[in-house]
Amino acid sequence: MSLPSFPRADALLAGVRRYLALRAVTAFALWIASGIALLLLAGWLLAGPEGWRQGTPGPLILDLAAMLCGGAGIVAVWRGWVARLTDRQVTSAVERSAGLAEGAFLGAVELARATPQGTSAALASLAEAGVSARVRARSTGVLAGALGDRVLYWRRIGVVAFTSLGLAAAVGAWSAPERAKSAWTGLLYPLRALAAPIYAALEVEPGDVDVARGASVEVGVRAPGRERVTLRWQAEGDVARIETLSVVNGATSFTFDSVTAAVQYSVSAPDGARTDTYRIRPVDPLFLSRLDVGVFYPEYTGRPAEEFSDVIPALEIPAGTRLRIAGRTSRELGSAALAGPSGDAGIAFRVTGAAFQGEWRPRQSGSYAWQLVDAAGAAAPAAHPPLEIRITTDASPEVLLVFPGKDTLISVTLRQPLVIQASDDYGLEQLELISYRVSSFGERGEPVTTRFESEGAAALELRPVLDVSEWGLLPGDTVRYFARVLETGPEGKTAQTREFALRLPSISELRWDAQRDVEQLGATLQDLAARMEAAQREASVQARRAATSANQASRADARSSGSTGEEGRAGLDYSQTEDARRAVEEQEQILAQLDSMRVAASQLLEALQQAGLSDTELRRRLAELQELLSEVAEGELQANLERAADALQSLDPEELRRALDALAQ
């Protein structure tokens, strides 16, 4: 007889065992994880905000406690749970859950493992199959019964514990990551945290330093990991002193007030760390004790050199001026310089001990600040007022053609008087008058340049005459001219006026101008004739007065000879001398004017001839006028004036009378 195929009782027992073992391992793992989360949370809480302090046994104690708890838990689980999962306990739980009689499933398991001697194998298999069929009808979890419920209970507790403790540890790590890192690193390496603390070296600022006498000095100390440090110092000539300083956030400080003597100081910590001995040295402030500035102007200015000492005024200098600067400071220098408005447009001086010097040509205006640094590298904040410099640029020269100052007609004499004014801030080198001819057909002639040396004058006024009488001008031609100047400044700038035009009049215009000039000469001659008549009367009066003075002088001589036998002479008194001198000067002025009229008439006649005027009557009148003026000017008038001047010089009344008679005639 064949039996249906069913799982054997021992296989069903093994399945229940595996079910219980898997749940037990899961619960144990959750409890282990909860223990680790508890360890991390405890480390985070006990480490404090700054983490574990070096040398603390806290991490090691926590790790040992965790290991002891873990070992005890493993032993307790093994002894109280795993070792007690015997066949009898498991089969008993299965029998109760499956509703079997006590010992039925255990017997089936034993029959499945081995058939007792004397027992029919077929009957044994049939009995086992009947029990297995009733057990197989239930799930493994149900078959575990009370044992399964207990395992699930501890697993649920493990889930809750791990979730709450793990979440708390995660929140701590998120809120203070550095604290968590330090706390958990200590738990991971407890022996390293237990080792003796190693502190960072003490740091002191500023160390050795030179300060201005009477200034305060703040000493800063960095002492990581310490709670306090000790400052020891002694001022020169004073007793040693000690000060305990509290360290906050790894640093502290101390201020020495009004340092007037050298101070030695050092810092130590309770762990034995100690700094070197430093020194604070008071020094006098760095300042300029003497300053000399020599100003050497460019040669073209003609200005002599100047020198200033100590108090330097604002310098207004032309471009190209050279400055020679020398100074001395209160102590030895490391460097000396002048910095301009842009910070670098200055000069670095040559330094020798406490003195400095250098030469410099400023290129831009501005305020130049002193930059003095002593040999120790300390800068003088305000060694001296800044050097104020203003560079004056070379202005362009100016030139004006004041007269005639417009385009006009040239006179028949073909000579044009001009008035030219020029100026420059440094001086004028020369002035040029440039003129050229433009024919009536538009042909331009070669320019003619007349130069006038100005010898460096800053202002100049010239009155030249533009003479074009030799140019062979024809009616309708034009003379164009302008003035140009060259300065003596460094850039050699030039300036010129606009071009002016002198037009040669036509034949009819020339004839009219000539007639006008002749009429002006006639009017001038009439005025001169009236003056000559008045001068003749004055000369006659002075001649009579001179004759009277001469008679008085003769009688005085006779009386003197008769009474004393010695010769005596009376001269002219002061009023007579001055009246006679005025009469002679009037005659001299008339003579000069006559000569000028003669020259003007000659030039006018020559101009008429060059212009080709055929007005015979006009030319005849001019020739007669010229001849008359020549006779008067070149006659005995000049000789009589010279005789009268000699008589006035010698105060001889008789000689003066004869000269004045001649002038009157």
Q: Calculate the average pLDDT of the chain.
A: 75
Top pLDDT among 447 and 565 is at 447
Q: How distant, in Å, are the alpha carbons of 65, 443, 470, 505, 613 from that of 440?
A: 130, 7, 17, 11, 19
Token pair in block for residue 95: 């029998």
Token pair in block for residue 153: 């209970």
Q: How distant, in Å, are the alpha carbons of 249, 431, 472, 492 from that of 448?
A: 94, 14, 14, 22
Mean pLDDT across the stretch 56-60?
Answer: 80
Residue % of the chain over a pLDDT of 70: 60
Neighbours of 78 (CB within 10 A): 11
Please write the tens of the pLDDT for every residue from 376-394: 777 776 667 888 888 887 7
Return the H-helix or E-strand segment holding 72. Answer: helix 58-77
Mean pLDDT across the stretch 151-168?
Answer: 82
Mean pLDDT across the stretch 539-553?
Answer: 62
Residue 567 clears pLDDT 50, i.e. is over it: no
For residue 434, give the nearest of 457, 423, 418, 411 by alpha carbon: 418
Contact 246, 228 (CB under 8 A): yes
Please write the tens of the pLDDT for every residue from 284-318: 777 888 889 999 988 777 788 889 888 888 888 88
CA dihedral 304, 310, 313, 317 (to 10 degrees): 40
The pLDDT of residue 605: 60
The pLDDT of residue 288: 82
For residue 123, give the nearest of 136, 102, 108, 104 by alpha carbon: 108
Mean pLDDT across the stretch 86-96?
Answer: 66
Residue 244 clears pLDDT 70, i.e. is over it: yes
Top pLDDT among 94 and 458 is at 458
Task: Give the three-class secondary structure for 164.
Answer: helix
Lowest mean pLDDT segment, chosen from 4-18, 165-179, 346-360 = 4-18
The pLDDT of residue 407: 87
The pLDDT of residue 542: 60
Mean pLDDT across the stretch 425-433?
Answer: 83
Mean pLDDT across the stretch 23-34?
Answer: 80
Mean pLDDT across the stretch 220-244?
Answer: 89
The pLDDT-based confidence of 242 (bands split at 50, 70, 90) is very high
The pLDDT of residue 266: 93
The pLDDT-based confidence of 232 (bands split at 50, 70, 90) is very high
Task: Give the three-class secondary structure for 141.
Answer: helix
Residue 604 clears pLDDT 70, i.e. is over it: no
Task: Give the three-class secondary structure for 176.
Answer: coil
How far, in Å, CA of 101 to CA of 84, rounded?
22
The pLDDT of residue 267: 93
Please write the tens of the pLDDT for every residue from 575-597: 656 666 666 666 666 666 666 66
How far, in Å, CA of 197 to CA of 79, rounded?
44
For residue 501, give the nearest of 466, 449, 471, 470 by alpha carbon: 466
Lowest mean pLDDT segment, chosen from 60-69, 390-399, 594-603 = 594-603
For residue 131, give the nearest of 161, 111, 116 by alpha carbon: 111
How far, in Å, CA of 476 to CA of 442, rounded?
10
The pLDDT of residue 435: 92
Q: How distant, in Å, are the alpha carbons of 11, 528, 532, 537 from that of 637?
A: 178, 15, 12, 15
The pLDDT of residue 175: 84
The pLDDT of residue 67: 83
Lowest mean pLDDT segment, chosen from 213-222, 578-587, 614-623 = 614-623
Residue 631 clears pLDDT 80, i.e. is over it: no
Residue 442 clears pLDDT 70, i.e. is over it: yes
The pLDDT of residue 84: 59
The pLDDT of residue 346: 74
Burial of 196 (0-12, 13-18, 19+ CB in 10 A): exposed
How far, in Å, CA of 139 to CA of 12, rounded?
10
Mean pLDDT across the stretch 6-22?
Answer: 68
Q: At what angle do helices 653-664 and 637-650 cross, to 10 degrees?
A: 160
For residue 468, give the nearest of 502, 439, 492, 499 by alpha carbon: 502
The pLDDT of residue 484: 92
Residue 149 clears pLDDT 80, i.e. is over it: no
Top pLDDT among 612 and 451 is at 451
Top pLDDT among 86 and 500 is at 500
300 DSSP 8-state letter: G
The pLDDT of residue 408: 86
Mean pLDDT across the stretch 552-558?
Answer: 59
Ranked by mean pLDDT, the top range of 263-277, 343-357, 582-596 is 263-277
The pLDDT of residue 629: 62
Question: What value, to the nearest 5°, has the Cα angle with vertex 78 and ends 77 and 84?
Answer: 100
The pLDDT of residue 570: 46
